[in-house]
Amino acid sequence: MTDLRERVARELERTRRRSAVLTEAVDDDDLIRQHSPLMSPLVWDLAHIGNQEELWLVRDVGGRDPVRADIDHLYDAFRHARKDRPALPLLGPKEARAYVATVRDKALDVLDRVHLEGRRLTEDGFAFGMILQHEQQHDETMLATHQLRAGEAVLSAPPPPPSTVDVRGEVLVPAGPFTMGTSTEAWALDNERPAHVVDVPAFFIDAAPVTNAQYAEFVAAGGSPPLHWTRDPGGWLATGFGRTAPIVPDAPVVHVSFHEASAYAAWAGRRLPTEAEWEKAARWDPATGRSRRFPWGDEDPGPQHANLGQRHLGPAPVGAYPAGASPLGVHQLIGDVWEWVGSDFTGYPGFTAFPYREYSEVFFGPEYKVLRGGSFGTDAVACRGTFRNWDYPIRRQIFSGFRTARDARPAELA
Nearest CA among 221, 216, 218 for reference residue 232:
216
48 is in an annotated binding site: yes
Answer yes or no whether residue 397 interacts with ligand AVJ by CB under 6 A: no
Helix (H), strand (E), coil (C) string for 172-213: EECCEEEEECCCCCCCCCHHHCCCEEEEECCEEEECCCCEHH
Comparison of 141 and 386: residue with beta carbon closer to ligand AVJ: 141
Four-residue CA torsion sign, 363, 369, 372, 375: negative
Residue number, 9 or 77, with CB nearest to ligand AVJ: 77
Inter-helix orientation angle 42-53/126-148, to 10°: 180
Q: 38 or 202: whose CB is closer to ligand AVJ?
A: 38
Residues that contact ligand AVJ, how many (by CB under 6 A): 6
Ligand-binding annotation for 85, yes or no, is: yes
Query: Of 19 and 141, which CB lies nearer to ligand AVJ in the complex structure?
Result: 141
Q: Is the peptide bond before 194 cis (omega within 30 degrees of 0)?
A: yes
Q: Is 389 in the site for ligand AVJ (CB under 6 A)?
A: yes
> What is the C-alpha to C-alpha distance for residues 330 and 210, in angstroms, rounded to an integer?
13
Binding residue per annotation — 391?
yes
- Minimum CB separation of residue 135 from ligand AVJ in Å reads 9
Number of H helices, E strands in the chain: 8, 12
Q: Is 134 in the site for ligand AVJ (CB under 6 A)?
A: yes
Under rule CB under 6 A, residue 137 binds ligand AVJ: yes
Is 83 flagged in the annotation as binding?
yes
* Residue whose CB is less far from ligand AVJ, 135 or 260: 135
CB closer to ligand AVJ, 290 vs 392: 392
Element (H, E) at 171: strand 170-173
Position closest to ligand AVJ via CB: 137
Longest dimension (CA), the chain: 67
**106 assigned binding-site residue:** no
Question: Is 376:313 a contact under the CB 8 Å cutoff?
Answer: yes
Among 390, 400, 402, 403, binds ligand AVJ (CB under 6 A): 390
Under a CB-based contact definition with an 8 Å cutoff, are residues 50 and 106 in contact?
A: no
Q: Is 82 annotated as a binding residue?
A: yes
Q: Which residues bind ligand AVJ (CB under 6 A)?
A: 134, 137-138, 141, 389-390
What are the binding residues?
Answer: 48, 82-85, 134, 138, 391, 395
What are the binding residues for Fe cation?
Answer: 48, 134, 138
